[in-house]
């Protein structure tokens, strides 16, 4: 049934197919948006530079919070683990032939959030922070104000064109970045119905998890891998890892999803054993929810109760599944927990997840044809993460600074700050690192009170271990995003159009043009 639906497109005489025609029409609020029109203009200028080449497949990689400083530190981190000095190392996406800078601000915030930034990438329209695929005319968390301002995503356009689609994330699959591929809500926190206000329910808004299961475009998402199981299960249920669901409406969305596709060879999976045993050749659709909340950091993945696949493993499996469609596919892959580690002021886990993200990109490069697959690697925003202090070449990126003498020779003793104590190469402008964190085995164990009267003496502290929280200047309960540009790296058909400094919403137009999804305002 799946292949027939994908190949026959509008000729399929089914209720689902007919209703889905309306789902992927680009609405007036989108066509008339200045962001949408200006983005289209940028792409039209680029089209004049080189002949257009169609992309059969598109893979969009999003490192959540993967700013330039994180890329640099991640490159050094990975290179030093291989025995080098690190600075000369290249991550997989460093090697892609095209790149540009991307401006990330939201329409109402200088420093953005993931909901607004991913909306820009997926619809071609910049919008407010906290809002997913709703034009900026609406108010955040106001359902009634959002009605009529819903935006169509690249994933929906791909589905309507007969492509297979996939969403992969190490965060909850209902979290802002993955949700922006398929959902439309004025509040990113409406992940399940337990967070929906009564007035939102009465006005007709739906939670994010239910929108994934009920997506009307095409025949729905074909591959979904991530966390967030709790948002699909009723609150009185207990999952395979002993965690309760959160839904108050009593719905088991995992069962509803399987019921929707009962005439197809589908699989719902929850752990690594089931993931490894998946029969790709005889499976048309997969829903994999590997944790009640977010999936584990890569550094902690081996400790997961049920067992979880890595981001690179999920990416490889998703490509294998989606590649069965001769029409092609659209896949979004997010490393969601780079962002979470930075918010915690924990550079080790952020860099370990960055390294795994690069492995996922490499898996995609190795398993696709660059003549037919457009691969884009970018970030939604950056973090207030810094690399400083004049460390000598090859200094451990997570270590304390050891500089060079007047002749450029490396010193063996740590450099000291004006307070007479060592300091680390990497740190944060704000966040939890203002508190005194120690070296507890297993990480993240606070061993002292907040160091509100001065810095912590790091002389005897192993700053390279996984639980260390880097120092921060301003004490906050959570480190914040930053507002500078991020990078985008690319290869494949359409990659040559990436040049200079672009607005984030132009990424949608690049995808749309390269894959001929049909989302141009003139169509």
In terms of Cα–Cα distance, which of 313, 277, 287, 315 is closest to 227? 287
Q: DSSP readout, 287-301?
A: EEE-SSSSPPPGGGG
Cβ(29)–Cβ(149) under 8 Å? yes
- What angle is formed at CA 164 by the lines to CA 159 and CA 168, rounded to 5 degrees? 105
Mention every residue, 6+ apart, whose C-beta is less than 8 A from residue 53. Answer: 493, 494, 514
Cβ(272)–Cβ(307) under 8 Å? yes
Active site includes 114?
yes
What the block records as the tokens of 479 is: 């480190």
CA 439 vs CA 276, 425, 444, 447, 460: distances in Å: 35, 18, 8, 8, 10
What the block records as the tokens of 395 is: 């200094």
Helix axes 114-123, 506-515, angle to 10 degrees: 30
Alpha helices (H) in 400-459, listed in sequence order = none
Bridge partners, residue 168, by sequence: 225, 333
What the block records as the tokens of 410 is: 């490396």
Cβ(451)–Cβ(433) under 8 Å? no
Cβ(417)–Cβ(376) under 8 Å? no
What the block records as the tokens of 378 is: 């970018």
- Among residues 114, 164, 284, 292, which one is catalytic? 114
Bridge partners, residue 386, by sequence: 427
- Rounded Cα distance between 386 and 505, Å, is 27
Catalogue the active-site residues. Answer: 114
């Amino acid at each position: 049934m799946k292949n027939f639906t994908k190949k026959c497109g509008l000729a399929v005489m089914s209720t689902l197919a007919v209703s889905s025609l309306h789902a992927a029409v680009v609405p007036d609020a989108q066509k008339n948006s200045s962001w949408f029109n200006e983005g289209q203009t940028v792409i039209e200028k680029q089209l004049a530079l080189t002949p257009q080449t169609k992309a059969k497949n598109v893979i969009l990689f999003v490192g959540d919070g993967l700013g330039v400083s994180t890329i640099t530190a991640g490159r050094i981190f990975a290179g030093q683990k291989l025995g080098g000095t690190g600075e000369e190392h290249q991550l997989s996406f460093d090697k892609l032939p095209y790149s540009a800078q991307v401006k990330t601000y939201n329409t109402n915030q200088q420093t953005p959030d993931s909901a607004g930034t991913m909306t820009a990438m997926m619809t071609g329209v910049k919008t407010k922070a906290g809002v997913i695929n709703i034009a900026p005319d609406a108010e955040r968390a106001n359902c009634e104000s959002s009605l009529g301002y819903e935006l169509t995503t690249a994933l929906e356009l791909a589905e309507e064109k007969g492509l297979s689609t996939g969403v992969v994330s190490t965060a909850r699959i209902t979290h802002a970045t993955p949700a922006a591929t398929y959902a439309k809500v004025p509040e990113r926190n409406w992940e399940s119905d337990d967070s929906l206000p009564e007035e939102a329910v009465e006005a007709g808004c739906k939670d994010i998890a239910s929108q994934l299961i009920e997506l009307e475009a095409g025949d729905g998402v074909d591959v979904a891998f991530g966390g967030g199981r709790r948002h699909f299960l009723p609150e009185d249920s207990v999952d395979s890892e002993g965690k309760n669901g959160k839904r108050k409406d009593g719905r088991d969305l995992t069962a509803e999803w399987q019921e929707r596709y009962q005439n197809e060879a589908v699989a719902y999976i929850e752990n690594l054993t089931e993931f490894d045993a998946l029969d790709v050749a005889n499976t048309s659709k997969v829903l994999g929810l590997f944790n009640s909340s977010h999936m584990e950091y890569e550094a902690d993945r081996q400790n997961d109760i049920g067992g979880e696949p890595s981001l690179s493993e999920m990416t490889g499996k998703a490509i294998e599944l989606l590649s069965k469609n001769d029409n092609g596919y659209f896949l979004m892959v997010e490393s969601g927990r780079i962002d979470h580690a930075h918010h915690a002021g924990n550079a080790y886990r952020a860099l370990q997840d960055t390294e795994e993200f690069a492995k996922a990109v490499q898996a995609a490069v190795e398993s696709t044809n660059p003549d037919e697959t457009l691969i884009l690697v970018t970030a939604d925003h950056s973090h207030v993460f810094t690399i400083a202090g004049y460390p000598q070449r090859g200094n451990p990126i997570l270590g304390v600074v050891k500089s060079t003498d007047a002749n450029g020779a490396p010193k063996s003793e740590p450099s000291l700050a004006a307070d007479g104590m060592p300091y680390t190469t990497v740190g944060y402008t704000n966040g939890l690192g203002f508190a005194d964190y120690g070296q507890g085995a297993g990480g993240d164990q606070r061993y002292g009170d907040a160091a509100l009267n001065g810095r912590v003496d790091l002389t005897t502290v192993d700053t390279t271990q996984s639980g260390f929280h880097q120092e921060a200047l301003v004490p906050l309960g959570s480190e914040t995003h930053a507002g500078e540009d991020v990078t985008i790296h690319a290869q494949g058909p359409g990659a040559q159009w990436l040049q200079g400094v672009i607005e984030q919403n132009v990424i949608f137009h690049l995808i749309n043009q390269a894959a001929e999804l049909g989302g141009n305002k003139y169509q």
